[in-house]
Amino acid sequence: MLQIYKIVNRVDKLSPSKIFKFRNSVRNTKSARDRQNIIKEIARLDVRKKTFSQRVRAAWNRVEVKTKEKNFALFKSAIKKCPLTGGRPKDTK
């Protein structure tokens, strides 16, 4: 998750448009409201299906918009608490 954040927000020197495909229009659907959601691309071959950009898409798209918009330190702590991305929720006891 942290690596996707770095790529999408241009913290790394990688170009996000070369790795992921994003929505370029805003439609009134839940998944299209967030411009940082990654579009699912059709992958015919197993090699393509197992690439980084294909494997991480679903998990990234489940992260809330307000979490994606935080700075890196806040994003990192928020992701650890997020049950949708494999993080463990904070113990409430």
- Identify whether 92 is part of a domain: no
| Spatial CB neighbours of 90, under 8 Å, sequence gap ≥ 6 | 81
Q: What are the residues whose beta carbons fall under 8 Å from the beta carbon of 15, sequence distance 6 or more?
A: none
pLDDT digits (tens, 9 = 90+) for 11-25: 988 888 888 888 765
Q: What is the DSSP letter of 83?
A: G
Q: What pLDDT is stored for residue 93 in this prediction?
A: 46
Q: How many domains does the chain have?
A: 1
pTM: 0.70
Closest residue by Cα to residue 43 from 60, 65, 21, 28: 21
Question: Is 74 within a domain?
Answer: yes
Residue 47 lies in a domain: yes
Cα 59-30-17 angle, rounded to 5 deg: 55
**56, two tokens:** 């991480």
**Domain limits for position 72:** 2-85
Q: How do residues 23-40 score in pLDDT, each as one tens digit?
A: 765 665 665 567 788 888
